[in-house]
């Protein structure tokens, strides 16, 4: 008569050990997944930094001979602006002041971006919008780097060879601190237009009108050549389209998570960033323009 051995039930110690082992394996997998995500985010950021540097060098090479290539078109547009310009100093001054109205240009564009943010609260939509806004900030940096790294291009109102005659009522020293190419107004405004246009065509048209309102008077006033505005607009639109399509998703995902976990801190920072974009970083520019004078005083030992 055979006796069948009955399997013993696992002891409490063995069950506890197995449960602990399973929990350890789960934690290890979670840690590995997070590490892989961090490595992927770092890799994506490094790729974009490298792409930005390469793109900047390519842009520099492309536009190095731009001034000669566009000279005839720019001169023709400058002559048209001069012939159609008013000789009334009050009118010209009013046009200058009106074109700088933040509420109708950068402020309105930023308001439309915020409308897009709250109109679609899905995670994917907000991630793409964040990438678009980061592209706007990158555009501001790129346009300024091009302005300071390219050979100085005098503005039409400062260059007698352009054929542009200074307008009555306009300060002839206006914006003489830096070159005219590319137009940072056009770069920033049209980058915002690209962000808005992809969410709503009707809002995009309103944004386009606002951007044109902000940049076309600058050609009329002799602050920019036609090609300055065109190049700035192309730079802004291209930056947004490329960054929204190929930008680091991990960065956008982190931003959306930040908004959900710390909404007060997120919206406070977003407000400050939006304010700077709306005013085209005017306070930062003023500080930057004052640094050389401060360094000069430090060098001479004269501090007032």
Determine the Cα–Cα distance for residues 185 and 229; give it in Å rounded to an integer: 8
Q: Which of 19, 185, 208 is nearest to 102 (CA)?
A: 185
Q: pLDDT confidence of 109, banded at 50, 70, 90?
A: very high
- Cβ atoms 52, 193 nearer than 8 A: no
With bands split at pLDDT 50, 70 and 90, how would you rate the model's confidence at 66? low
The answer on pLDDT for 184 being more than 70 is: yes
Give me the pLDDT at residue 182, please: 84
Distance CA 247, CA 189 (A): 20
Angle of CA points 89, 90, 92, to nearest 5°: 65
pLDDT for 196-255, tens place per residue? Answer: 999 989 999 999 999 999 998 888 888 888 888 988 999 999 999 988 888 788 888 888
155's torsion region: left (phi>0), alpha (psi -120 to 50) or beta? beta
| Residue 150 vs residue 32, higher pLDDT | 150
pLDDT of res. 190: 95
Does pLDDT of 271 surpass 90?
A: yes
CATH number of 65-290: 1.20.144
- The per-residue pLDDT of the chain, averaged, comes to 77
Tell me the pLDDT band of 84, cut-offs 50, 70 and 90. confident
Taking residues 105-115, report their average pLDDT. 94
| Closest residue by Cα to residue 186 from 150, 239, 124 | 239
Could you tell me the CA-to-CA distances from 108 to 197, 203, 214, 274 in Å, in that order? 14, 11, 11, 11
- 21-58, pLDDT tens digit by residue? 565 566 666 666 666 666 665 666 566 566 655 555 55
Return the top range by mean pLDDT from 56-65, 103-112, 164-173, 291-300.
103-112
* Residue 272, pLDDT score: 93
pLDDT surpasses 50 at 303: no
pLDDT of residue 132: 92
pTM score, whole prediction: 0.74
Domain boundaries, the chain: 65-290
- Residues of the chain with pLDDT > 70: what percent? 67
pLDDT for res 226: 86
């Amino acid at each position: 008569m055979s006796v069948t051995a009955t399997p013993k039930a696992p002891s409490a110690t063995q069950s506890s050990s197995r449960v602990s082992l399973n929990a350890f394996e789960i934690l290890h997998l979670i840690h590995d997944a997070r590490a892989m995500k961090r490595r992927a985010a770092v890799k994506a950021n490094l790729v974009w930094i490298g792409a930005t540097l390469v793109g900047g060098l390519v842009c520099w090479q492309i536009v190095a001979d731009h001034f000669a290539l566009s000279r005839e078109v720019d001169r023709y547009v400058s002559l048209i602006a001069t012939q159609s310009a008013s000789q009334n100093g009050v009118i010209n001054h009013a046009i200058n002041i009106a074109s700088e109205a933040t509420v109708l240009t950068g402020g309105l564009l930023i308001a439309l971006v915020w409308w897009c943010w709250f109109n679609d609260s899905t995670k994917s939509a907000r991630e793409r919008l964040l990438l678009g806004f980061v592209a706007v900030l990158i555009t501001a940096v790129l346009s300024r780097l091009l302005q300071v790294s390219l050979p100085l291009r005098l503005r039409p109102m400062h260059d007698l060879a352009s054929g542009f005659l200074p307008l009555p009522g306009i300060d002839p020293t206006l914006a003489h601190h830096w070159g005219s190419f590319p137009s940072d107004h056009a770069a920033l405004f049209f980058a915002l237009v690209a962000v808005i246009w992809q969410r709503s065509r009707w809002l995009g048209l309103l944004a386009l009108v606002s951007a044109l309102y902000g940049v076309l008077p600058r050609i009329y006033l002799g602050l920019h050549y036609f090609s300055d505005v065109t190049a700035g607009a192309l730079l802004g639109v291209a930056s947004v389209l490329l960054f929204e399509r190929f930008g680091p998703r991990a960065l956008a995902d982190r931003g959306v998570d930040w908004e959900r976990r710390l909404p007060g801190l997120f919206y406070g920072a977003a407000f400050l960033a939006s304010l700077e974009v709306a005013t085209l970083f005017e306070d930062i520019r003023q500080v930057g323009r004052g640094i050389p004078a401060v360094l000069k005083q430090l060098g001479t030992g004269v501090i007032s």
